[in-house]
Chain A
Amino acid sequence: MKPSVRQALREGEQLGLRYSLLMPQTTASGATGSRLGRRTGSSIDFQDYRDYEPGDDLRFIDWGVYARTDRLTIKLFREEVTPHLDLILDGSRSMGLEESAKPEAAAKLGALLATAAANVQCTHAVWLSGEGFHRLANDSHPPSTWDGLGFDSVRNLDQSLDLLGPRLRRLGVRVLISDLLWPAQPIHTIRRLREGAAALFVIQLLGRDDVTPPEQGSLRLIDSETGETTELYVDAGVSRQYRDGLARLQQSWDDTCRQCGAHLTTLIAEELESSLARLESMQLVAPA
């Protein structure tokens, strides 16, 4: 792991201490834990009554009601769950582009979210794409202890999902951090990530060079993931077409996210700290 990424993890961890992960009520689901779940459970918080059915735990029969009404009635309590955050990091080479702040920004953002989740007793797991998805070493520990965070995969996120998808916890909060720059239908990716999730947040992390095309001149462009090259002369028209293409791509991802109930925001890696407010506005984190 690059020292700069390691340093970014430490900075993200420090930064995350200021935030708390916002857990939507609809998302309270998971193993027995310290937070009330959406479903009935074994907590002490009364939720409802219902008629006894064979097989119900006899300990929850409300004998007082039976005495008054001669009907077996079961008391329902809310379940207690431990919420979970699945951080899905795009580990493709496009995220680790040299002369770009994207790898450090991705690490910092991941660390921030993981720390914000820990601040609200929320477990987390970090999934990194590559030859399929795999969890980072020590990902359940504080971010400064994470290991193996590298952005060197030649496969894009969609291909990694096809190879080996992440085992995402059901009804957990999922956050995808990626530049979303690969040629595929966004619906394919979003549906798979959104399925079974309480909420899906997609953070498009772009470098400044991704947003601003190069100045006028002849360029031999090399795809960071495929190594494919193309040569062209960049002029005002080309720049305009590039910006239009990027806008269309973002619009297609945004439309797909809306369609699937996910939330999308775009951050510029070089301006990460100044744009964290967007995370608050999309109801992902809140000041601690």
Chain B
Amino acid sequence: MFPFFVYPLALLALAALPVLAAIYLFRHRFRRRTVSSLLLWRFQMPSREGGAKIQRIQLPLLFFLELLALLCLVMAASGPQWRQPGAGRPLIVVLDDSFSMRAVYEAVSARDRALEYLERHFRRQPPPSVRLVLAGSQPRLAGAPVRTWSELARQLVGWTCHAPQAALEAALTLASELGNQQANILILTDHPPVDERMAGDRLRWHAFGQPSANLAIVNASRVSHAEQDRCLLEIANYAATPQLARVTVQAGSNTLQTSSLTLAPNERQRLVFEIPGRAPLLEAALEPDALGEDNTVQLLPPIRPRVRVQVAITNAAMHELLSRTLEVTGLRAALSVDPELVIHQASGAVHGTNAWDLRWVLPSAEEGVAFTGPFVIDTSHPLTEGLALEGMVWTAATNLALSPGTVPVITAGNIPLVLAREDALGRRHLTLNLDPGLSTLHNTPGWPILFWNLLRWRATEQPGLSERNFRLGAEVELRTAGQPATVTRPDGVVVQFVETSDRLSLETPLPGHYLVSLGTATNAFVVNPLAADESALTGCATGRWGGWKDEEAQRRQLASAVWIFGLAALAIMVVHLVLLAPRAKGSR
């Protein structure tokens, strides 16, 4: 089969062949030489290279070897490629893994139609290898390249279409890099490409979606509001016509609320209601439509963090002030045993492995200096969120002794007013330099804000979850405090984390209930598929864009033959060397 040359200009080097021949012809041309007598040139035994044999063959074998080596090198330089019959390009399939692929049209989802097409394509024109790239929130490989449909089918089990979005661009980039400009890329999705003029000749885009009207819950939340939980549901109408949405809210088997909303095309409406805080799992549902994933949300009661605080202040007025302040934050636990925060006036360290401490430094009358500002606040610190100190009087000691590692949070000039330090165990040691008798801070909103921030900060450092309701694909932060954790996913898969650091980030690839076992405690959180872009099915389409150049060429793969010629040249040169070695030895 005639080879295809990548660098045909390299064939110009063939001009070196006649040059070599000329060199040999001139080199091996008989030089005339007159000798005294031929008496001494008549040998009984002819030379190995001389005599009659050489007279017949004017060019030695070395010439032909060099000629062949040169020819091979020229061929190798020209980059010959052969079309191998029967072989085709490898195929990389980019699969849209978002949950819009689960939208049903005529009882068949887009995923199933894409799967059917893929199987049909594979059986009709089996590529030498197939690799799957799942385009979810992040592109990821489904496995190693496979050659048979059975192997491919095993990998396709992982194509569940639960992702809240499809990063097709990133998946396409990954596929291009994997294909190294040699593989064909097939994209199976439910919507057309952004630019329908597909560039390149190795990319084919197949969409199997159908534009459908869809009512979807695109936002849902449940937050604590005093003793009640406030719930929010946002319903969107992705249709060209107005739609009536019937929302049913249930807690267990009890129907808490049923609402009917009339939504204009592409309109969103919010439904806000309150339920008792003790109500367990809440489930809101719309009536079935094309996409069932976004018709239901589940909301667990929010976590109400509480901090066990021990107030070890001997001054009764200050004790009273603190107790009242802590109560109004709503974050103080009823119990104070095994405290998580100790407020005291002692100068020594607080015992216990888990307790933070707030040391309240009360300056004496001689040491106290009143400051009216300006106050310098580290606004990035958790203690100062929402804190404003303008117009207040803050009396503090000016000769405060600082421990190493102490960071000022609030200062008046160079006088620290609030200090923070973290020890080797991760405990926080805070210092409040304040004389309440000569200050106005406790009479301002800044006072409860300061303590609310303190308790909230302490609460966020407690082991466990900070929230219980998440969107699909969100990262769930789990504070483990070094304890082993076990996570049970909605599909029953159990993931164990035997050794953990202080925090874990859990993936939420599937909607539904997740159970987290941390030590002896068990927490649960729920993941809801809330993604407006995936719920909007009006942009879906069926069609094919782009294509692979030359269908016949797909079955004929260009294989480089450079190595063949390179190896041949090497072998010839080795033979040349072997033939030349004894001659060189003889000439020495």
Contact = CB atoms under 8 A, between A and B. Distances in A.
8 contacts: A94-B37, A97-B36, A181-B37, A182-B39, A222-B32, A222-B34, A235-B49, A235-B586
B47 A183 contact: no
A237 B33 contact: no
B518 to A, nearest CB: 89
A97 B586 contact: no
A245 B42 CA distance: 9
Contacts of A237: 47-50, 586
Given A181-B37, A225-B37, A231-B30, A218 B47 contact: no
Interface in B455-496: none
B38 A228 contact: yes
A219 B47 contact: no
Interface of B: 27-43, 45-51, 54-55, 58, 583, 586-587
A232 B48 contact: no
From B40, B45, B46, name the one whose CB has the most chain A CB atoms within 10 angstroms.
B40
A251 B503 CA distance: 104
Contacts of A241: 43, 45, 47
Given A219-B30, A246-B40, A224 B50 contact: no
Interface stretch (A119-127, A162-170, A190-198, A206-214): A206-214
A183 B41 CA distance: 12
A242 B40 contact: yes
Interface of A: 94-95, 97-98, 100, 102, 179, 181-183, 206-207, 209-210, 214, 216-226, 228, 230-238, 241-242, 245-246, 249
A220 B31 CA distance: 6
Contacts of A235: 47-50, 583, 586
Contacts, number: 112
Contacts of B48: 235, 237
A182 B45 CA distance: 20
B40 A233 contact: no
Given A181-B40, A236-B587, A238-B50, A231 B55 contact: yes
Given A233-B50, A235-B50, A238-B47, A221 B55 contact: no
Given A181-B39, A224-B37, A246-B40, A236 B32 contact: no
Given A232-B51, A235-B50, A249-B40, A221 B28 contact: no
Contacts of A220: 30-33
A94 B162 CA distance: 105
Contacts of A214: 33
A104 B434 CA distance: 128
A25 to B, nearest CB: 37
Contact of B28 (A182, A218, A224, A228): A218
Contacts of A242: 40-41
Top 5 closest pairs, chain A to chain B, by CB = A94-B36, A233-B50, A220-B30, A181-B37, A232-B50
B588 to A, nearest CB: 9
From B32, B34, B49, B54, name the one whose CB has the most chain A CB atoms within 10 angstroms.
B34
From B28, B35, B40, name the one whose CB has the most chain A CB atoms within 10 angstroms.
B35
Contacts of A236: 583, 586-587
A224 B34 contact: yes
Contacts of B29: 218
Contacts of B35: 97, 209-210, 221-224
Contacts of A249: 39-40
A234 B27 CA distance: 13
Contacts of B38: 221, 223, 226, 228, 230
B37 A216 contact: no
From A97, A209, A224, A241, name the one whose CB has the most chain B CB atoms within 10 angstroms.
A241
Given A97-B36, A226-B38, A235-B47, 18 more contacts: A181-B36, A218-B29, A218-B30, A219-B32, A220-B31, A220-B32, A220-B33, A222-B33, A222-B34, A224-B35, A230-B42, A233-B50, A235-B48, A235-B583, A236-B587, A238-B47, A242-B40, A245-B40
